[in-house]
Amino acid sequence: MQINRVTVIGAGIMGHGIAEVVSMAGFPVVLEDAFPEALKKAEGSLKASLERMKKSGKISDAAYSEIIGRISFSSNMAEAVRDADLVIEAVPEIPDLKVSVIKDITANCRADAIVASNTSNIRISTLAGHAQSPERVLGLHFFNPPVIMKLVEVIKSDRTAQDVFDATYEFSKKIGKTPIKVLKDSPGFVVNRINAPESLLFCLLLDRNMAKPEEIDAFAKSQGLPMGPYELMDYVGIDTVVHSLEYYADTLDKEYGKCTYFNRFMKSGKLGLKSGSGFYVWENGHAKIPEAKPANVLDLMDILSVEINEAVKIIEEGVAQPADIEIGVKLGMNRPFGPISVAEGLTNAEIKKKLTTLSQKFDTKIFYPAKSIESGKLREVISGKAKTPEAPKAAETHAAEHTEQSGEPVRLERNEKTRVAHLILNNTKNNLINSEVLASLEKHLKNLWNDHEINVIIVRGEGNNLSAGAQLTQFFSGPMDFSENSRVGERVFRLLSEIPKITIAEMKGFTLGGGFELSIWCDIRVATPETTIGFPETTLGLVPGWGGSQRLSKLLGMSRAAYLILTGERFDGKYAHEIGLVSRIFDKEKLAEETDRLGEELAWKIAPVSAAMAKKLIYKGSEMGADDGLEMESVAMGLLYGTDDLKEGISAFLQKRKPEYKGR
């Protein structure tokens, strides 16, 4: 199913922007509007936008003419849709109007054309119900302004055909957008649905006279949000917010109708930017926000918990997969993190407590914890592992394209024959380290601790990198939380030096920041000449916080450690070998093979009891005075004297055979 010719119905704010995006991607597009003056305005806005791009050097003079040349304007719907492969309707958000427009489109377009609605909230199934071929109708929700916002939600109705969905999804990529899959038709889809309970919360705050808009906005900005919620609602239009809440009250939960405070603004014509005033007075496109102290009636966790709760409900209902929700909120709300990564940094218990309190405080069940949070299954749900009653089949979702995590983020592979275990990082393309990776690593190391079949552990990364570092987009609720994350990383990485087995870090590709720290806690490091190593933390306003600031100087001495940490300089495996950080250097193509060979050799050659004792003597000894260290060494010798491994080692040596150590 090829999409080449596109028609956009409705040349307003969204319609003209969508036509611009489509034409910029090289597709011919017809822009239709029932009102000629709207078409004229759209043409002016389109040209002004392209002029701006031309001036800033984003497009050439030739490209400008080509883009304009591909757009034709029409006020005849039947003609406009006749040859289209894809028709996108962007008429006002009035259900009856949309139903009749979609009916008209499907009556006039080709039988095999795809018909998409840019509705913000209305269920596609409701709109498609009256179409001639509902299976060819779906949602294609752009964000404002379409030229800038990368996100589109591709929405399946109860009846949308899979090939229609797939073709539209692929087309969205061709026009330079990042599509997410909305697999089940829900009011508000993903991003607006996650916003819905927040709108209610902000309405209730004013309704109960708990704070002024400027105080809440000052608070939101103090927490790093790009725009305060009331400024944003003014920008979007208070009428839009009111209509959305009314629609959610009808379709999702009648408690969305609980707060009517915003309706008063709407009734008095205060709609925000478009009417010149709303919560604030607007001048030259900017809100005049009175100076205010940040409100203290809520904290960031309240807002984020409400978002997480709605995200969990969406997953439970099978509307979208966690990875798509994360991308949707990040791109749709211009945030550095979405609700899934925020939830990863919090416990089920704290979110549940927050939501229960909010639900009681505002007397609404909308904030009450979702089923999975109520039953302590937050982790399973956000990792996509929980069986939700209506969750879409994996084959249907294709979520793997975005999936930053599939299965466990660290895989354990143990081989009793070779006595070598592999811990393989498998989290995102660059094996970024987050709290889930740490938890998984800790679990495996604890399981391996008394595993007498395993003598050597190789830490490896799936793909081309060991690890490019910590996942910086992970959310932390405050300094204590961030500090705790550092403590957890230190504790887990340290296990690699304490575990009574030889640990080998296979440093390849990017081995940066947290990935570099992971490797320096191992006993032995191997690399390729090309491995890229370094501590970029100080260039980001951080310090190596998983033991790197302490351990590197133990390995390399203070001078080298200070240089590498204070310059943030990247260096290669060859240099790492020269300064003794890396013990063996292997060709890139043979890295895994040679590392395994080394591991297998040490696994039979080195007596496990000796490895365990030697590690203690080296690492603990480096923290004590020479006398104590030497005393510890002689005690260790005494302990080794009675072991089976010592007897076996000596008799194998005398008999010129391979020893068979038991670790006793």
Ligand X SMILES: NC(=O)c1ccc[n+]([C@@H]2O[C@H](COP(=O)([O-])OP(=O)(O)OC[C@H]3O[C@@H](n4cnc5c(N)ncnc54)[C@H](O)[C@@H]3O)[C@@H](O)[C@H]2O)c1
Residues that bind ligand X (CB under 6 A): 9-15, 33-35, 38, 90-93, 97, 101, 118-120, 142-144, 236
Smallest separation (angstroms) from ligand X to the CB of 317: 22
The contacts of residue 607 (CB under 8 Å, 6+ apart) are 643, 645, 646, 648, 649, 659, 661
Smallest separation (angstroms) from ligand X to the CB of 142: 6
Smallest separation (angstroms) from ligand X to the CB of 20: 13
3-state secondary structure 262-309: HHHHHHCCCCEHHHCECCCEEECCEEECCCCCCCCCCCHHHHHHHHHH
Smallest separation (angstroms) from ligand X to the CB of 7: 11
Nearer to ligand X, 319 or 612 (CB): 319
Nearer to ligand X, 93 or 484 (CB): 93
Alpha-carbon distance of 332 to 31, in angstroms, equals: 25
Catalytic residue among 153, 310, 517, 600: 517
Determine if the peptide bond prior to 336 is cis (ω within 30°): no
Other C-beta atoms closer than 10 Å to the C-beta of 372 total 21
Active site residue 404: no
Smallest separation (angstroms) from ligand X to the CB of 234: 13
Tokens 């937050």 correspond to 378
Nearer to ligand X, 86 or 438 (CB): 86
3-state secondary structure 103-160: HHHHHHCCCCCEEEECCCCCCHHHHHCCCCCHHHEEEEEECCCCCCCCEEEEECCCCC
Nearer to ligand X, 7 or 532 (CB): 7
Nearer to ligand X, 329 or 576 (CB): 329
Nearer to ligand X, 34 or 495 (CB): 34
Query: Half-sphere exposure of 80 toward its Cβ, with a 13 Å CA cutoff?
Result: 25
Smallest separation (angstroms) from ligand X to the CB of 100: 7
Alpha-carbon distance of 664 to 662, in angstroms, equals: 5
Nearer to ligand X, 14 or 180 (CB): 14
Contact criterion met (CB below 8 Å) for 423 and 458:
yes
Which is nearest to 269 in space by CA: 297, 238, 229? 238
Alpha-carbon distance of 68 to 43, in angstroms, equals: 9
Smallest separation (angstroms) from ligand X to the CB of 285: 15
Nearer to ligand X, 185 or 215 (CB): 185
Token pair for residue 193? 């649905």
Active site residue 215: no
Which is nearest to 388 in space by CA: 459, 296, 330, 312? 312
Alpha-carbon distance of 85 to 79, in angstroms, equals: 13
Nearest residue to ligand X, by Cβ distance, number only? 12
Smallest separation (angstroms) from ligand X to the CB of 459: 46
Catalytic residue among 498, 537, 631, 633: 537
The pair phi, psi for residue 325, each rounded to 5°, is: -65, -45
Contact criterion met (CB below 8 Å) for 13 and 41:
no
Q: Which amino acid is at 439?
A: A
* Active-site annotation, residues: 517, 537
